[in-house]
Amino acid sequence: MKENIIVTGDLHGYWNYLNDLLNKKKPEKAIVCGDFGYWPHMHNSKKIGRRGIRWDQYGIKNHVTEVFWLDGNHENHEELKILATKYGYQSPINMKDFEENRDKKYKPIYYLPRCCVVEFNDQRCLFIGGADSIDKMSRREGISWWRGEVISHSDYLNLPEEDIAIVFSHTIPSFLADELFIDLWGSQKMYDPSCKILEEVFYKYKPKKWYFGHFHKFYNIHFEGCEFIGLDMAGHMGKWWCYM
């Protein structure tokens, strides 16, 4: 039977938006297209936002939905590399730290390493997160920025040799810049070597559908037989989630 699956754009750790959505719609699964907000080094020790609330890494609270996420540019990539090296890049990684720091009644959270392939609703899906941070000069390395953010050539070499129906990424192939009429702020994100690699990914697999985030704006266009769906950031006015 076909599962009810929701796809979202960037969360940046604003778990309240995701919690409200999942508890209202109650999908079996949710997939976050990067900038999830994985900063375990900050858990309960750093006050963020105007109200100075302490950061809660483990604030996703849902009894029904399994949450899957790929990395964006704003994640702790050092920690993610350790996880992927330990558990492998081929399958979703159960984030045990969420289980250890939350009530066991909540559904598990899974990280989808780069080039991981998972079958959802009988469709083989490729996950390849990562992107360049255009604001990295104002961030602190190891605290709010990590070198492993950009998709690398070694990531490309890990791509599987199999048919792929759907691709999930954080940023987009470089050829989409003109197609999406990206504004000046977004156009700065196209100087990213990740975009050239994703162009190669597209022509390698020629998927029928492609989901992405990163640009904090909703897009829906067709290009060379593929439907590209870009989702806004949670909390913005645009469409930030859809059904898969």
Predicted confidence band at 51 (pLDDT cuts at 50, 70, 90)? low
Global pTM reads 0.94
Res 108 pLDDT > 80: yes
The whole-number average pLDDT for the span 192-217 is 96
pLDDT tens for each residue of 137-151: 888 888 888 889 999
pLDDT of residue 185: 61
The whole-number average pLDDT for the span 70-91 is 94
pLDDT of residue 50: 54
pLDDT of residue 180: 79
The domain of 23 spans 5-243
pLDDT of residue 144: 84
The whole-number average pLDDT for the span 115-136 is 95
Report yes or no: 15 and 65 within 8 Å, Cβ to Cβ: no
pLDDT of residue 49: 54
Task: Report the percentage of the chain scoring pLDDT > 70.
Answer: 95
pLDDT tens for each residue of 2-49: 899 999 999 999 999 999 999 999 999 999 999 999 999 888 876 665
Number of domains the chain contains:
1
Q: What is the CATH number of the domain that holds 157?
A: 3.60.21.10
Neighbours of 6 (CB within 10 A): 21
Distance, in Å, from the CA atom of 25 to the CA atom of 39, rounded to the nearest integer, reads 27
